Structure 1
């Protein structure tokens, strides 16, 4: 597969914007910077941030066992996904394939970019229908989105199914691993070099507890990353975000402790849910949430709201009729949730 053939001609031929910090890449120690029209008075953020976030990528590269050249950072995963759309999908011509129920931004971004959507609903166990997906593609199918662990169902897709899809799809396969840190399944980053058409997205919003800084991560071949770097805004990740990310990445033991506690609390919540009379099904989960089928999702949702507890009503999603999605909170929050689930 030649990735260059999948890239939109306008993007392939684009001459990227070159910022002041792109042009000077030497040792910045003791340099006098008069090139970027910045305010010269130091306050910690008066200078433009590193446009390629080199320090953050260096730490991520060590953590994920990839080269920094295989990493792109974005203003949240949504910016990363939008860059992927703009790189590979020609407006009003191409299409993508999604597998509902799944993360809703794939559809939103497709609509923003004027890209047709082909939906192949997951099977009753929330697994991909591999043959149906591959049969649905045509010459204009540019992106296939696999959310694993999946949102809102929480389960991971079977590895053999993912491998068949990556090998059999003629475009780019995007595996969204926002919840991978809560799963026992191995990240597909470990197989990145096997598949030139594979993109993996992750985030610091979930396990790393940094939803407020908006930092999304993309892992892909150097060919793909180089193109995405050409079209991203020059300073898309601000200095404050980079600093907070560095602090958290350097404090990874705390992240591991919190993930372990969340998994313990997840098990405790599932155990408690088995004793709630109107809970009809508890779906397997590899994420920091649990999807449950109840007798009347809207009724139970409103009852919890009255008790001061906000969960997510997913009953309108395909295959999720009368389902609530429960995020794992602190031990105290989970106790309150369980008490009220049993009381209503």
Structure 2
């Protein structure tokens, strides 16, 4: 049975979070002389001289409307990477505890583990890019605190079998982190709706992909109120800047536009896959639930080098286990995809 108190680091349990000026006074006033800000304003067209809402409450309320989740179950971070780092700092004792990752997968899980001096146990995905449940079960010990699952997975693009993730949630006494950065492009429904079923579930999402706000660095974590409280205790006091909060809030009013873009991206993805299949140096194109495709080629390094010389940049995943010979290609606009195909046609004719 999962018990949150048994996996929180002792120093985090007793941590008294920093109390900022905006934590201590949350109302409206005519004169603010409490936070040592520059009362004269900013040398910009928009004033940014006041500290932002430390909890980004307005953004959370709008996300609550869109996602159907109470604001108290939402954490906002500087990208999902901040949430990943907080998970390590909150639940993993350096040099003692371990986490499980399932390569090939998003590289920041391993980077954050290394930064926080936490052992990594790698249980590779199967040849079909699905979970090796038996291998994961054998790897779990009393010091295993987190299991990271990216679904749809990066770099493979496929969704992980839902039943397998539910098996882990039901049987693992640590936290299962389901990273849904690409969920907007997926046929699989989000795990957010399962938060009331599983106390050990943390779902990560982002505004960087479908929402087109990568430069703002706004990531989301959805979890039980108790886990979110731990996140808020550990995070820096003003972790989401005012510009990002304002622009994110503005963007979140445009759900219909984003949904139309998603449809267009999926249409372009299908067209791109069909075009790539015509090249004899393309060995396989793996099924994708994301805004990118993983393409197995006869010469990934050579094709990558050639495309770079043409000013077209894709991601070379050739050196990653289970992705040998593969290029990861983001679905671009119609014009960008055509530029890629036309360049590959020239390569074929050379």
Other-structure match for 1:260: 263
Q: Is the 8 A contact 1:134 1:168 kept in 2?
A: no
1:147 deviation in Å?
A: 0.2
**Quick check: 1:306 aligned with 2:305?**
no
Partner of 1:82: 85
Contact 2:285 2:294 in 1 (8 A): yes
1:59 — aligned with what? 62
Superposed, 1:33-112 pairs within 5 Å as 33-43=32-42, 44-112=47-115
Where structure 2 has 5 or more consecutive residues not aligned to the other structure, the ranges are: none
Alignment of 1:315-330 (within 5 A): 315-330=318-333
Are residues 1:13 and 2:3 paired?
no
Shift of 1:25: 2.1
Q: What is the DSSP-based 3-state SS (H/G/I as helix, E as strand, rest coil) of the residue aligned with 2:195? A: helix
> Paired residues, what number?
342
| 1:75/1:214 contact within 8 Å kept | yes
1:202 alignment counterpart: 205
3-state SS in 2 of match to 1:152: coil
Deviation at 1:340? 1.4
Instruction: Find out whether 1:270 has 2:269 as its counterpart.
Output: no
Question: What value does the CA root-mean-square deviation take over the aligned residues?
Answer: 0.8
Residue 170 of structure 2 corresponds to residue 167 of structure 1: yes
Runs of 4+ in 1 over 4 A off after TM superposition: none
Unaligned ranges ≥5, structure 1: none
Q: Which residue of 1 aligns with 2:247?
A: 244
CA deviations 1:182-203 (Å, max 9, x no partner) are 0011000011110000000000
Residue 134 of structure 1, CA deviation: 1.5
TM-score (norm. length: structure 1): 0.98
Instruction: Tell me what 1:224 maps to.
Output: 227
CA distance in 2, matches of 1:131, 1:31: 62
> SS of 1:117's equivalent?
strand
